[in-house]
Amino acid sequence: MTAVVPSASEVEEGGSRYDRLIQPARVHGTLYTDPSIYAEELRKIWHRTWVFVGHESEVPQPNDYVRKQLADQDVVMTRDKDGEVHLLINRCAHRGLQVCDDQAGNSSSFRCPYHGWTYRNTGELLGYPYNKGYGGKNQLPLGMGKVARVDSYQGFVFGSLAEDGPSLDEHLGAAKGEIDRLVGLSPEGRVALDAGWLRHRTRANWKFLAENETDGYHPQFVHGSIFGVTGSPIGALYSDNSTAVTRNLGDGHSENDLRPEFREFAEPMRWFGTTPDRVPSYVQAMKDAFGEDEANRRMIEGAPHVMIFPNLFIAEIQVFNIQPVGVGECVQYSTAVQIDGGHELNQRMVSQSIGSVGPAGMLLADDTEMYERNQRGVAMADPEWLDVRRGLVRESVDADGFTIGAATDETGMRGFWNHYKSLMEAEDR
Amino acid sequence: MTRHEEGPHHEVGLEEGADDVVVPQGRVVESEFASIAVRLDREGNSVRLRVEDLRTGRVRHLDALELESIVWLGEGHLTQLLDPSHERWRG
Ligand code: FES
Ligand SMILES: [Fe+2]
């Protein structure tokens, strides 16, 4: 320890605790290891802000339901008989039992196995056995818990456990345009996340993942093997010579924008590692839907690579849902994007996704090895800080007013920490 | 085709030459008073019974818990449901 670097215990003095832990060029290691900070994150981030939970396509039919996670909360996403989507907290109002146990099903009502209390799939209590003990039917003003606010954008369902706060629209901000870009690759203007989710338990703090998703500095090191095996041209886009940019989209969101590179090549479907003649039905459907020029523009620019704070990562062909489990553990749920009207693309999306994030996939396993080593590393005492200054010397502001850095810069991480800090400095309620 | 159910029923097929016939899918439970097609539907996240009133085309899906509740419906309740003025012809 040196005189100039304060230790975590000293950081309480001067400014807020987070002023000391989160600085423009560095962040403190305890942010990833301190259980009290994690407890505060649950209260101020995960139980307050909008969190990605799932996609409407996972409950396609009336009365479908799936079990999902919202941080430490076990949530049942239901579609009621009228088509509306709800997020119920999976807890009986009687004695607190977990009500639903299957991962998915179809039922207009849920019956708790303990004493038989029965709820509509909107959470409303519809009855209980032997009602004389309660003075008759409909005597209890109780129901399953509910995620206070539920909203969706392009079928992506988000929940907020806080009664009030910014709307989903405000929370998503500029990130909406990136979701639109993904959906714009569908000739029918819709995507589905119904291919099934893989679940990867990861022994690392959730923030390592959120930061890494738009870290363009690591791919050449960590992902050399998959780039080598697949002959993917993507690796080269993450270097100092690349015209791709890392963009701080505000509100904690960031992206690696590879479009400058793809526009230069001007080859439709290059982003997907293929050529139009190999996916002819899809290309035709795109042209029928949008006309030749617009379809080509979309197929040249490709899908987004965007990290939406705090837990939704859209990685071109697949989507990750990151959920914390504890200060040193999280789960990465991943699934292949399925495009309505995608024709040949959808099967390829699934196989590419399995190749990169499946049980024997090469991409996620490599990243996860880094996350877990990162978690072990930051438990060490010295040098205490993580450096996030890369690119500060060359940052600029783009035409839309967003801060951008080069492809390999830590501009996204700095945006993440800014937003994180503003949330953590807010008052407890 | 083997028939396992009891009571009046028949297999439903498209009549030749009648291209405007609506073809109900599944087995038919039928009497002189009503005609209902039933089949298992696997479109949802778990299996449901799809029940179609062939005289009106009205369709209802019944999940397992709803079916169990019907099985346990007392005769009195069921009789109430059969009263024409209970729901459909309430006036
Ligand atoms: S705990 Fe659910 S019915 Fe008693
Ligand atoms: Fe990676």
How large is the ipTM?
Answer: 0.73
d(CA A371, CA A377): 10
When divided into structural domains, chain A yields a total of 2
Look up the CATH number of the domain holding residue A284: 3.90.380.10
Residue at A37 is within a domain: no
Token pair, residue A226, equals 């998959």
A90 plus A181 within the same structural domain: no
Mutating which of B40, B41, B42, B46 best tests the A interface, going by the most A Cβ atoms within 10 A? B46
Q: Which residues are B3's β-sheet partners?
A: none
Predicted local confidence at residue A334, as pLDDT: 97
- Strands A245-250 and A403-406 come out as antiparallel
Q: Which residues make Cβ contacts (< 8 Å) with residue A351, sequence separation at least 6?
A: none
CB contacts of B63 in chain A (<8 Å) are: 63, 106-108
**pTM of the full predicted structure?**
0.90
Q: Is A266 helix (H, G, I), strand (E, B) or coil?
A: coil
Residue at A9 is within a domain: no
A144 plus A275 within the same structural domain: no
The alpha carbon of residue B14 is apart from the nearest alpha carbon of chain A, in Å, by 27
A363 plus A418 within the same structural domain: yes
Partner residue facing B65 (CB), from A62, A64, A107: A107
Q: Can you tell me which residue has the tokens 């990290």?
A: A307
Residue at A204 is within a domain: yes
The reply to whether residue A106 touches residue B47, judged by beta carbons under 8 angstroms, is yes
Count other C-beta atoms under 10 Å from residue A72's C-beta: 12
d(CA A106, CA A88): 15
A132 plus A281 within the same structural domain: no
Question: Looking at this protein, which amino acid is placed at residue A377?
Answer: G
A149 plus A189 within the same structural domain: no
Count other C-beta atoms under 10 Å from residue A203's C-beta: 14
Q: Say whether residue B68 is in contact with chain A using an 8 A CB cutoff.
A: no
d(CA A267, CA A301): 9
Residue at A270 is within a domain: yes
A142 plus A188 within the same structural domain: no
Residue at A28 is within a domain: no
A371 plus A255 within the same structural domain: yes
Q: Identify the segments of chain A with pLDDT beneath 50.
A: 1-6, 8-12
Range of the domain at A321: 174-424
Tens digits of residue pLDDT in A332-385: 999 999 999 999 999 999 999 999 999 888 899 999 999 999 999 999 999 999
A229 plus A149 within the same structural domain: no
The reply to whether residue A108 touches residue B44, judged by beta carbons under 8 angstroms, is no
Question: Looking at this protein, which amino acid is placed at residue A349?
Answer: M
Domain boundary among A153, A183, A211: A153
A345 plus A377 within the same structural domain: yes
Residue at A214 is within a domain: yes
Q: Backbone phi, then psi, for B52, in 5-degree steps?
A: -125, 125
Q: Which residues are A74's β-sheet partners?
A: A69
Ligand 1 centroid from CA A98, angstroms: 9
Predicted local confidence at residue A235, as pLDDT: 80
Predicted local confidence at residue A2, as pLDDT: 40
Measuring from atom 3 of ligand 1, which residue has the nearest CA? A115
Identify whether A383 is preceded by a cis peptide bond (ω within 30 of 0). Answer: yes
A195 plus A344 within the same structural domain: yes
A181 plus A146 within the same structural domain: no
Domain boundary among A107, A124, A153: A153
Q: Which residues make Cβ contacts (< 8 Å) with residue A396, sequence separation at least 6?
A: A403, A404
Q: Hey, which of A90, A101, A109, A115 would you mutate to test ligand 1's pocket, going by the most ligand atoms within 8 Å of its Cβ?
A: A115
Look up the CATH number of the domain holding residue A92: 2.102.10.10
Residue at A338 is within a domain: yes
Residue at A42 is within a domain: no
Domain boundary among A153, A187, A203: A153
Q: Identify the segments of chain B with pLDDT beneath 70.
A: 1-24
- Whether A274 and A348 have beta carbons less than 8 Å apart is answered as yes
A218 plus A185 within the same structural domain: yes
